[in-house]
């Protein structure tokens, strides 16, 4: 959707833009510390990361800085989100001892949701979680956190408790311990990041395809580049008629992607709670 007006509507028919155009953006500086090729290169994606962080902080401060006895719409909505994380995730998975992690897990849920929601916001139309950098950073943060929590709660025995299964015959531990080690300390951060990244990337590509297809069928915007006006039914009225259900489906898909973005924020936060719970004690 970031290239909504860039459909390759040539004489050869409808063609999609290159995938790289949907996910890669040039740096805003020509060279130096913040230019292309630098680790500190600042582009549209980096700007959206900062915007999501500012929105997350701003929403929390606006809702809870001066809470009212009779809450307004924003405070009520944010309180409902806090209650959801508190009761639906922490209370159901970790228990009362997990309430100390409420600020972290709520912030994580809200931050991921905002980044996912960018996909359907006009003018942005890009879920920043569809770039692996952000899911990888968040998953590594949770990875080091649950290891820290485990060592703090159980001592060095945590590493053995995390890979052994009580009650299993010792002979079976030769097989179980390596499997649990790979699963707990190697695959967890990878699968946590890939799940979020892959879902949002797939949704972004799908939305791009259907909106560009409806754009190609209904209205040709290419004349704008030549100082003209958009042309309706540029490729024939039959193509125009076919484009109407495509556009309706695209609009419905926007609602579906909002649901997917919410679900992915919930799943990531829920799994973070599961990992923390498992680190608090061997019985979790």
Residue 109 burial class via C-beta count within 10 angstroms: exposed 0-12, middle 13-18, buried 19 and up:
buried
Average pLDDT over residues 61-83: 88
Q: Of the given ranges (2-6, 17-21, 107-111, 169-173), which has the lowest mean pLDDT?
A: 2-6
Q: How far apart are CA 247 and CA 240, in angstroms?
A: 10
3-class secondary-structure state, position 236: coil
Which range of 154-158, 176-180, 196-200 scores highest in mean pLDDT? It is 196-200
The C-alpha atoms of residue 170 and residue 174 are separated, in whole angstroms, by: 7
Q: Which range, of 24-33, 92-101, 174-183, averages the lowest pLDDT?
A: 24-33
The token pair at 230 is 């958009």
The pLDDT assigned to 130 comes to 93
Better-predicted residue by pLDDT, 175 or 35 = 175
pLDDT at 251: 87
Rounded CA gap, 109 and 101, in Å? 12
Q: How far is CA 99 from the centre of its chain?
A: 24
DSSP per residue, 14-38: EEPPPTHHHH----SBSSGGGBTTS
Q: Give the rounded percent of residues in the chain with a pLDDT score beyond 90.
A: 48
Label each residue of 117-158 as H, E or C. Answer: HHHHCCCCCCCHHHCCHHHHHHHHHHHHHHHHHHHHHHCCHH
Predicted confidence at residue 233, as pLDDT, reads: 61
- pLDDT confidence tier of residue 267, bands split at 50, 70 and 90: very high
Instruction: List phi, psi (to 5°) of 47.
Output: -65, -40
Q: Distance between CA 125 and CA 145 in Å, rounded?
A: 32
Q: What pLDDT is recorded for position 276?
A: 94
215/124: higher pLDDT: 124
């Amino acid at each position: 959707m970031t290239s909504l007006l860039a459909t390759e509507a040539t004489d050869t028919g409808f063609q999609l833009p290159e995938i790289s155009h949907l996910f890669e953006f040039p740096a805003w500086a020509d060279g130096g510390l913040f230019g292309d090729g630098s680790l500190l290169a600042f582009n549209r994606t980096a700007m959206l990361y900062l915007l999501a962080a500012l929105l997350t902080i701003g929403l929390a401060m606006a809702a809870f800085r001066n809470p009212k006895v009779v809450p307004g719409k924003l405070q009520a909505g944010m309180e409902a989100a806090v209650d959801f994380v508190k009761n639906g995730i922490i209370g159901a998975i970790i228990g009362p001892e997990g309430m100390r992690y409420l600020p972290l897990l709520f912030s994580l849920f809200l931050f991921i949701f905002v980044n996912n929601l960018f996909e359907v916001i006009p003018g942005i139309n890009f879920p920043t979680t569809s770039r692996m950098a952000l899911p990888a950073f968040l998953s590594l943060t949770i990875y080091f956190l649950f290891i820290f929590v485990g060592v703090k709660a159980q001592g060095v025995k945590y590493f053995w408790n995390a890979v052994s299964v009580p009650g299993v015959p010792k002979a079976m531990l030769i097989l179980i311990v390596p499997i649990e080690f790979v699963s707990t300390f190697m695959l967890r951060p990878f699968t946590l990041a890939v799940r979020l990244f892959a879902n949002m990337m797939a949704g972004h590509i799908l939305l791009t395809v259907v909106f560009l297809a409806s754009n190609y069928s209904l209205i040709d915007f290419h004349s704008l580049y030549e100082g003209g006006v958009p042309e309706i039914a540029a490729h024939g009225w039959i193509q125009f008629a076919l484009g109407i259900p495509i556009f309706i489906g695209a609009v419905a898909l926007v609602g579906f992607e909002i649901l997917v973005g919410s679900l992915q924020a919930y799943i990531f936060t829920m799994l973070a709670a599961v990992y923390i719970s498992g680190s608090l004690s061997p019985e979790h």
